[in-house]
Chains A and B, each alone.
Chain A
Amino acid sequence: MRKLENIETTNFKRESKHNKENKQRVNVLSKIHHAVYRMIPLLVFVFLILLWEFIVVVLEIKDYIAPRPTQIISEFKNSGSLLLEHTLITVYETLLGLCIAIIFAIVLSLICSKYKLAKRVLYPLAVVSQNVPLMAIAPLFIMWFGFGILSKILVVVLVGFFPVLLNTVKGLESYDLELVDMMRYMQASDLQIFMKVKIPAALPSFFSGLKIASAYSIMGAVVSEWVGAKNGLGIFLTRSMKYYNMPGMFADIIVIVVLSLMIFRVIEFVESKVIRWNINRS
C-alpha cells in the first residue's frame, strides 16, 4: 500500500493513469446503477410473483381458489395451442373492428368539421350509442348478427369509434386562427389550409382518441365473446370458469393484458413517428 502511494506521488504519468482507471470504474458503477434503476419495476414484479408462489405453498391454498404462478406457466405449456387458437380469433375481431371504427370515425369527423349541421345531428346519436351499456349491447348484437365473429366486430366498432370521433372533431377545431389568417394572406386555397393547418393540428388529439379506443376495443371483443361465441378469449374464460380451471383463467387474463399493451404500444410507436414535434414546447 505504501509502495503504491510512493509510485503515485513520484510518477505523475502513473497517477493520471490511475485516475483514469478510477474514473472508468466509477463509470461502470454508474452504468450498473442505471441498469438496476431501470430494472426496478421488473424486479418488483418478479418479487411479487415469487411472494405469491410462496404464500400459496406455505398457506396450502387450494388450486380452485388461487393457483400458483408455476401452475399458470404450465397451463401455457399444456393448452398453449388451444389458447393461441382462441387468441387469434380475438385479435382478428379486435383489429378488424378497430380499423373499421377508425375509418368510420375519420370520415364522420371530416363531415362534422365541414358541416356544422352534420355535427348537430350526429353528435347526440354518437353520445347515446356510448351510453348504452356494453353488457346490454353485446347480447342484442348476438341476437341480430349471430354467434359468429360479425357480432363481435360490430361491438368493437361501436365502442371504438366514439373516442376517435370525439377527439378528432375536437382536434380539427383546435387549429390556430392566426395561422389560418396567415395562410389566407399567402392566398392559400381552402384545401391547402385544411391539409397544412387543420390536419396536423388534429393529429395529437386523434392519437389520444385512438389510444382510448384501443383499450376499449379489446374489452369490447372479450365481453361480447363472454356473452356468447364459438371461439375467442372470452369464451375460453367462461369455459375455464365452468370447470374451475383457475390456471386457465389466469392464463387467459394474462393474454388479454399483453394484447392490450401490445396494441397500445404499436399506436404509441406510430404516434412517435408521425408527431415529431414537441407538443409541450410549441
Chain B
Amino acid sequence: MSKVNVNNLNRTFKNGIKSLEVLKNIQFYLRENEFVSIIGPSGCGKSTIFRILSGIDKDYSGEVLINNTDITKHPQKVAYLQQRDMFMPWRTVIENIILPLEITGEVSIRELRIIRKHIKANKNYFEAKSVSEPLNSVFRLINDFGLNGFEDYMPYELSGGMRQRAALLRSFIINSDIMLLDEPFAALDAITKTKMQDWLLKIWNTHKKSVLFITHDIDEAIYMSDRIYVLSERPATIKDVINISFRRPRNRDMLMTQEFNEYKGRLFEVLLGRC
C-alpha cells in the first residue's frame, strides 16, 4: 500500500514579475514501512517538497496523495522534522516534546508541570500515582530516545545529538506513521552522526514507520535507504532512482563491500555528471 504518492509536482515561486521554478515534474512514491531518501545538491528544492507534503506550502500544481487522499481536499497529518530543530527556547525539553499532544488537547502543559514537580520531589511518583495514558507513553519513549534525566533541561543546554533526538521525538509523537526527516544529521559531527544513523534505523525498525529522508550525504543515503531519488540542480527534476538491495538489518560492514562502492559510483556519476 502506498503511503505517499506524488505525481507531476511543480512549484514556482513568484515575486512580483520575477519567477523562480523550483520543482519540475517531480514523481515519487513511498510504501508502507519503507525508508526512502531524496538526495540532491543544496538549494535544489528538497525542503520545498516536504513543505508541500506537510501542508505548509499549498501553492503547487500536480497531484499529492497521502494515505491515498488528496491533501488539497483533506490535509493529512505527517510527522515532519524541519531542518532546524525549532525548539521553543522558553520551554524545557519535555515541554517542547509534548507540543503535538498539547495541540490536539491530549495533554495539558499544566498537568505536565505538576507531574514534573512531583517527580523531582519523589522519584517513585510513577508507581504511586497514575499518569494519563498519552503522557505515560511519552515518558516511556523518553527512554527509547535516550533523553532520560534531561527532561527538565532547557533546549540550549543539550548537546547537538541530544537536541536532534529530542526534536525527532517531538515529531515522533505526532499521530502519524509517515515521517518526513529533513537532513536531521547534517549539523552533527561524523561520530555522532554514525551513532544516530544506527539508532534511527533501530527506532524505525521497532516502531514501524514509513520514512522519507532528505540528505546530501551519499554514504548515509545508501546505508539507510530502500530506495534513493536523485534530484538535479534547480529546477529540481528526478534524475535517477536507485533501489538499494542490501538486506536488513543493515550493518557497517556493508559500507566496505564492492556493491556499496558501485552504488556510490553511480550516485556520484548522476550527481556530478562525470566519473
Using a CB–CB distance below 8 Å, which chain A residues touch chain B? 176, 178-179, 181-188, 192, 196-197, 200, 203, 275-279, 281-282
Contact = CB atoms under 8 A, between A and B. Distances in A.
B55 A184 contact: yes
A115 B75 CA distance: 28
Given A186-B174, A278-B154, A197 B88 contact: yes
B99 interface: yes
Contacts of B91: 277
A188 B100 CA distance: 9
B89 interface: yes
B56 interface: yes
Contacts of B75: 187
B88 A200 contact: yes
Q: Which of B77, B86, B88 has the most CB of A within 10 A?
A: B88
Contact of A178 (B82, B89, B104): B82
B82 A182 contact: yes
Nearest to A204: B90
Contact of B80 (A176, A185, A192, A277): A185
A209 B100 CA distance: 32
B90 A181 contact: no
A186 B89 contact: no
Given A181-B51, A197-B88, 14 more contacts: A176-B86, A178-B86, A179-B88, A182-B82, A182-B86, A183-B103, A184-B56, A185-B54, A185-B55, A185-B77, A187-B77, A276-B90, A277-B90, A277-B91
B54 A178 contact: no
Interface in B44-99: 51, 54-56, 75, 77-78, 80, 82, 84, 86, 88-91, 99
Contact of B154 (A185, A200, A277): A277
A185 B86 contact: no
B82 A187 contact: no
A278 B51 CA distance: 30
Contacts of B55: 184-185
Contacts of B78: 185
B110 to A, nearest CB: 13
B40 interface: no
B13 interface: no
B89 A282 contact: yes
Nearest to A181: B56
20 contacts: A178-B84, A181-B51, A182-B80, A182-B86, A183-B103, A184-B55, A185-B55, A185-B56, A185-B80, A186-B100, A187-B75, A187-B77, A187-B103, A187-B104, A196-B99, A200-B88, A200-B90, A203-B90, A275-B90, A279-B89
Nearest to A189: B103
Contacts of B156: 277-278, 281-282
A179 B86 contact: yes
Q: Which of A176, A179, A182, A192 has the most CB of B within 10 A?
A: A182
A138 B54 CA distance: 57
Q: Which of A178, A186, A200, A276 has the most CB of B within 10 A?
A: A186
Contacts of B80: 182, 185
Contacts of B184: none
B178 to A, nearest CB: 12
Contacts of A185: 54-56, 77-78, 80
Q: Which of B56, B75, B78, B174 has the most CB of A within 10 A?
A: B56
A181 to B, nearest CB: 5
Contacts of A176: 86
A133 to B, nearest CB: 39
Nearest to A274: B90
Contacts of A181: 51, 56, 82
Contacts of A183: 103
A192 B104 CA distance: 10
Contacts of A277: 89-91, 154, 156
B4 to A, nearest CB: 15
Contacts of A188: 103
A178 B88 CA distance: 11
Contacts of A179: 86, 88
Contacts of A192: 103
A188 B56 CA distance: 12
Contacts of B104: 187
Nearest to B78: A185
Contacts of A200: 88, 90
Q: Which of B86, B90, B99, B156 has the most CB of A within 10 A?
A: B90
Given A178-B82, A197-B88, A276-B90, A186 B99 contact: yes
